[in-house]
Amino acid sequence: MAFDNTVYKDYLKEIEERKEQGLNPKPIDGADLLSVIIAQIKDVNNEYREDSLNYFIYNVVPGTTPAANLKAKFLKEIVLGQSVVVEITPAFALELLSHMKGGTSIAVLLDLALGNDVAIAKDASEVLKTQVFLYEADTDRLEAAFKSGNEIAKEILESYAKAEFFTKLPEIAEEIKVITYIAGEGDISTDLLSPGNQAHSRSDRELHGKCLISPEAQAEIKALATANPDKSVMLIAEKGTMGVGSSRMSGVNNVALWTGKQASPYVPFINIAPIVAGTNGISPIFLTTVDVTGGIGLDLKNWVKKLDENGKPLLNESGDPILEEVYSVATGTVLTINTKTKKLYNGDKELIDISKAFTPQKIEFIKAGGSYAIVFGKKLQTFASKTLGIDIVPVYAPSKEVSIEGQGLTAVEKIFNKNAVGTTPGKVLHAGSDVRVTVNIVGSQDTTGLMTSQELESMAATVISPIVDGAYQSGCHTASVWDSKSKANIPRLMKFMNDFGLITARDPKGVYHSMTDVIHKVLNDITVNEWAIIIGGDSHTRMSKGVAFGADSGTVALALATGEASMPIPESVKVTFKGDMKGYMDFRDVVHATQAQMLKTFSGENVFQGRIIEVHLGTLNADQAFTFTDWTAEMKAKASICISEDYTLIESLEMAKGRIQIMIDKGMDNKNQVLKGLIAIADKRIAEIISGEKPALRPDANAKYYAEVVVDLDQIAEPMIADPDVNNADVSKRYTHDTIRPLSFYGGVKKVDLGFIGSCMVHKGDMKILAHMLKNIDEQEGKVEFKAPLVVAPPTYNIVDELKAEGDWEILQKYSGFEFDDNAPKGTARTSYENMLYLERPGCNLCMGNQEKAAKGDTVMATSTRLFQGRVVEDTEGKKGESLLSSTPVVVLSTILGRTPTIEEYVTAVEGINLTTFAPSHKLLVQ
């Protein structure tokens, strides 16, 4: 058989190249290659036939990829006898279809089950009964066949109504043996598990797995697993929290790749069921991602605060609580997880209760191999029961519904009650309730978006859920360097998401100007109702309107496909303010002081961790309030809610409308006119507030909080800096965001090698402060001279346009040595900087760590949120890189001086500048 197999030979060449990197053949997702492979399988004398069979059976990406579509169609031919492959019997073909998760494979199974061949129909129906990833097109076919009297369709629906796809799965093991591996001391960020600078490889799971922790750690984990085949390796954050920082599905995927189990023998490099733990548990975002994979996350509490005779924590010389070890989890320790008693054991010795890791819902995730199967399973059972006209059989654990009579609602409780789906009618729910909620706004960012698109393909989704008000795909994480990797990946991502129904930063057709705006800023603008629930593919999805949850790429995919999310209603911590701000203080200092005062008040306990921060900012508009809500990710909160006065919320909504209109004017709206619809939602909300029909969201006066924090503005006497404390003798105290120091701590002598103003923590006001300070310094000194480079990346193009209209951009241009050019974006990342001002393209820039970086060993002063090791700056052998986080004026002055300023120098430099309008609200913001 003569045909062109060039694409196959290219694949063989790629395989040889991957061998040199210690990698297996890359999983196949393209139809061109698979069509050649199928042709070679059909040709019984083909020299490549045996390998082609292996690639076809074991190396094709499932779901709705072009390759999966082709594979399903060929398997259908085999089942029907239209093609004969000795090695793939019709029964084996059906088994392979059962592992393809959805899309064309479901359509094929329905064709077979509803076809005329009774024997084939029966066999295909048995496979269909195990499937859960069905969409409207599939369920519509089943319903129509049932109504026309098809007995097979009736059988399938009856099975679905009983949820046999779930009930017939094996129960989870009563005992799970684990062997421990200390992945690090202190908080472990997802950067350690999936570094930001390796973002380009995330869609190639095996390749990306090579970046987990270090090659040495990988060898140690592999050795533990090999020596203990009956045990799972459990990765641990000793004296810290596992998975802080970014919401990164790739981090969990990497852990599962090295320590989990293969999800299907016919799908390569997709592993599930990782087991992770931390002395202080698992970061909320990371724990959600663990649930996606059917894994287990444990809160070990193996180190506790040492108490005095009065029960108060004993402090060391640094003022930190002294910890003592309750039990050891040193690498190589064998422990037993008992899923029935919900306890952790060392031999026969009970160590700790772990029932939080084994709620009825989490047990279901583990049994089903992940949370997606449960979400889709419930949906499918509901559909089947309704179609058959019967009541839903209780199969799944009932959602926990906590309702406390006489107790008011916090703001987040109100939002969850409003958006709840499937709860007991009329029942008011409080924190601790498990709730399925509708999602209003969804955001996907570019370095995790490739994985989100893969997740959507794997769950066979082809179009955005109609109940989502708006969704956006950003281009901000690849903004600063438009290199070959970005050119290969990002246009493909934008086309997929645009076709799926999202508003995309880049136009696949090239009509409107590419927009590299920071995703959180865009989501903040397109959130036009403070009652909204937002899901975004980044830990800093923390809007100042509505309640926003940073999520992994899989949860984002689920929200896009279903318009829903499931989670417990979190407890809240109320934050209010008293006192007066000094005129020379910046709002960023209030943000840092909040964290510092909270830790001091609660003797080092972070009461924010895993909870909602309900912050009563009142008088700050959405742009400025975002500085606070954004930082709540670093406070380890699950999310945050900003309580605003009516007129402030109206101002924020009008601002949002204006920016959405700019997006429309650029041509960014889609055929469904999503952006136009958001303006209509904003108009309706503004009218409700003005008329008094529905004032701005308020908690009830008798709401109950886990804790209340009152921030005393009078105590903030000087700028505050979050310090990575890289030389702390206690390794667990390094690289946390909890070390907040006053400017005077540095004595005006700490050398600063580079400054960065940008990322999501700044707004237009920060750019204006920068311009004003440069003018001040020019007037005071006769010139502006930088003793360290200053990199400036505005968050959005809108801000640049507004600065140009107001004359501030011209001032920045005057003092800059570099200005971005969209017609000629940088193709390579800088490796060194001159002592000058760089006006960079809007986007994440240095904060992301995957493109531009400071020179190794530098001390960086930044407005960023990232101080993790190696993120903004890497270490050298002789010096650790430091990323100190502060306000815009501190960053500016540090680069002018080449060192940290004294308080006197700082006060002089900001003279005459209105740094913030923030003042505590005089209104009681409760209902």
Contact 808, 816 (CB under 8 A): no
Question: Which string of DSSP letters, residue by residue, matches 333-354?
Answer: -EEEEETTTTEEEETTEEEEE-
**Distance in angstroms (rounded) separating the CA atoms of residues 505 and 484:** 19
**Distance in angstroms (rounded) separating the CA atoms of residues 109 and 903:** 72
List the one residue out of 729, 849, 841 whose CA is nearest residue 795: 841
- The residue type of 593 is A
User: Mean per-residue pLDDT for 522-548?
Assistant: 93
Count of C-beta atoms within a 10 Å radius of residue 175: 11
Residues facing 437 on adjacent strands:
420, 565
Alpha carbon of 621 to those of 524, 617, 644, 653, 679: distances in Å?
Answer: 11, 9, 8, 9, 18
List the one residue out of 464, 448, 707, 703 whose CA is nearest residue 563: 464
Please report which confidence band the pLDDT of residue 224 belongs to, taking 50, 70 and 90 as the band edges.
very high
List the strands of the sheet with 572-578, edge to edge.
639-644, 612-618, 572-578, 707-712
Share of the chain above pLDDT 70, in %: 99
pLDDT at 625: 93
Q: Report the interhelical angle of 764-781 vs 797-806 (nearest 10°).
A: 40
pLDDT at 195: 85
Please report which confidence band the pLDDT of residue 199 belongs to, taking 50, 70 and 90 as the band edges.
confident
pLDDT tens digits for 698-731? 999 999 999 999 999 999 999 999 999 999 888 8
pLDDT tens digits for 398-436? 888 999 999 999 999 999 999 998 888 899 999 999 888
**Distance in angstroms (rounded) separating the CA atoms of residues 48 and 50:** 6
Q: Report the interhelical angle of 6-20 vs 31-42 (nearest 10°).
A: 110
pLDDT tens digits for 605-646? 899 999 999 999 988 999 999 999 999 989 989 999 999 999
DSSP H or E segment with residue 536: strand 533-536
* pLDDT over threshold 80, residue 190: yes
- The residue type of 898 is G
Phi/psi class of residue 301: alpha, beta or left (left: φ > 0; alpha: ψ in -120 to 50)? left
3-state secondary structure of 316: coil
**Strand locations in 410-465, DSSP E?**
420-421, 434-438, 441-444
Of residues 924 and 226, more confidently modeled = 226
Please report which confidence band the pLDDT of residue 584 belongs to, taking 50, 70 and 90 as the band edges.
very high
* pLDDT over threshold 80, residue 99: yes
Please report which confidence band the pLDDT of residue 255 belongs to, taking 50, 70 and 90 as the band edges.
very high
Q: Report the interhelical angle of 118-128 vs 90-98 (nearest 10°).
A: 30
| Average model confidence (pLDDT) across the chain | 93
DSSP letter for 846, please: G
**Distance in angstroms (rounded) separating the CA atoms of residues 552 and 535:** 9
**Distance in angstroms (rounded) separating the CA atoms of residues 656 and 682:** 8
Residue carrying structure tokens 């059909």:
42
**Distance in angstroms (rounded) separating the CA atoms of residues 804 and 808:** 6
User: 208: which 2 tokens?
Assistant: 């990306």
**Strand locations in 445-482, DSSP E?**
470-473
Report the relative pairing of strands 533-536 and 572-578 from DSSP bridges.
unpaired
pLDDT at 1: 45
- Give 3-state DSSP helix, strand, coil % of the chain, rounded to 5: 40, 15, 40
Lowest mean pLDDT among 311-315, 877-881, 899-903: 311-315
User: 901: which 2 tokens?
Assistant: 């300023």
Residues facing 299 on adjacent strands:
278
Contact 231, 334 (CB under 8 A): yes
pLDDT tens digits for 728-787? 888 888 889 999 999 999 999 999 999 999 988 999 999 999 999 999 899 888 999 999
Share of the chain above pLDDT 90, in %: 78
3-state secondary structure of 693: coil
Residue carrying structure tokens 């048995």:
126
Phi/psi class of residue 90: alpha, beta or left (left: φ > 0; alpha: ψ in -120 to 50)? alpha
Residue carrying structure tokens 């960014």:
668
**Distance in angstroms (rounded) separating the CA atoms of residues 497 and 508:** 10
Helical spans, DSSP H, in 459-545:
484-500, 519-526
3-state secondary structure of 651: helix
* pLDDT over threshold 80, residue 489: yes
Please report which confidence band the pLDDT of residue 869 belongs to, taking 50, 70 and 90 as the band edges.
confident
Report the relative pairing of strands 175-185 and 232-238 from DSSP bridges.
parallel
- Look at the pTM and tell me if it is higher than 0.95: no
**Distance in angstroms (rounded) separating the CA atoms of residues 452 and 445:** 9
pLDDT tens digits for 34-83? 999 999 999 999 999 999 999 999 999 888 889 999 999 999 999 999 99
* pLDDT over threshold 80, residue 3: no
Contact 382, 418 (CB under 8 A): no
Q: In degrees to the nearest 10, what's the CA dihedral of 647, 648, 650, 653?
A: 180
**Distance in angstroms (rounded) separating the CA atoms of residues 342 and 335:** 13
User: 515: which 2 tokens?
Assistant: 């927009």
List the strands of the sheet with 232-238, edge to edge.
296-299, 275-278, 232-238, 175-185, 334-338, 343-346, 349-353
List the one residue out of 581, 566, 643, 582 whose CA is nearest residue 612: 643
pLDDT tens digits for 670-688? 999 999 999 999 999 999 9
* pLDDT over threshold 90, residue 387: yes
Q: Report the interhelical angle of 622-631 vs 519-526 (nearest 10°).
A: 130
Alpha carbon of 30 to those of 8, 99, 144, 270, 547: distances in Å?
Answer: 11, 18, 33, 18, 39
Report the relative pairing of strands 882-885 and 837-839 from DSSP bridges.
unpaired
Please report which confidence band the pLDDT of residue 202 belongs to, taking 50, 70 and 90 as the band edges.
confident
Alpha carbon of 306 to those of 237, 600, 738: distances in Å?
Answer: 20, 17, 20
pLDDT at 2: 53
Please report which confidence band the pLDDT of residue 926 belongs to, taking 50, 70 and 90 as the band edges.
confident
List the one residue out of 231, 150, 245, 227 whose CA is nearest residue 188: 245
DSSP letter for 178, please: E
**Distance in angstroms (rounded) separating the CA atoms of residues 696 and 713:** 25
